[in-house]
Amino acid sequence: MKAIFLLALLFSFGAHAQYPAKPVRVFVGYAAGSSTDIVGRVMADRLGAYWKQNVYVETRAGAAGNLAADAAAHSPGDGYTLLFAQNGLAISAAALPNLPYRAEIDLVPLAPVASTPHILIVAPDFPAKSVQELIARARAEPGKLAFASSGVGNSDHLCGELFNLMAGIQAVHVPY
């Protein structure tokens, strides 16, 4: 399950009537149309209406959201840059020690905004019609089946690897 976090002070700025005095940028680290992008755009619209100020989304897709996280981490800490991210930030911090930012130091998670489930899907014409049939096929043809994710080290990737481990199969990870 993906927890999407808003890394900003959100509605707590209501007590400060002058904020925001200029447009607010929201970084999203996933492709247009992704669940993170959609939620980020909805929240940007709502924040803009609430604050009566322009709030715009800047997509920095790639590297399991780390490009956007890096951009946010290296932006001024003035409240005019926000980040919509997934729980992959925690995964990246543990799995990739040489990131150009430290999420636990450079970013402040403030609010879970949404969650999305991980689901297992095959094409309609794929021979396996159940999880058991999929596992049987994968065991019969090790390394021939593949699963996709939106990046190395994100929760999609780890769910796929956990499925591999628990099912005793060797599906190949294909990051996008």
Q: Residue-wise pLDDT tens for the chain (176 aa)?
A: 333 444 444 444 445 568 999 999 999 999 888 888 999 999 999 999 999 999 999 999 988 899 999 999 999 999 999 999 988 788 888 888 899 999 889 999 888 888 878 899 999 999 999 999 999 999 999 999 999 987 787 888 899 999 999 999 999 999 87
Domain boundaries, the chain: 2-116, 131-175
pLDDT tens, position by position, 99-131: 999 988 999 988 888 887 889 999 999 999 999
The answer to whether domain 2-116 has CATH 3.40.50.150 is no
- On the question of a common fold for 2-116 and 131-175, the answer reads yes
Interatomic CA distance for residues 66 and 98, integer angstroms:
12
Nearest in space to 48 (alpha carbons), one of 7, 82, 98: 82
Strands, E, within the chain: which ranges? 2-7, 24-28, 55-59, 81-85, 111-116, 146-149, 172-175
The residue assigned the tokens 């489930």 is: 117
Contact yes or no for 116/37 (Cβ under 8 A) = no
Output the CATH code of domain 131-175: 3.40.190.10
Interatomic CA distance for residues 23 and 148, integer angstroms:
36
pTM of the model: 0.73
Contact yes or no for 94/104 (Cβ under 8 A) = no
Tell me the one-letter amino acid at 103: A
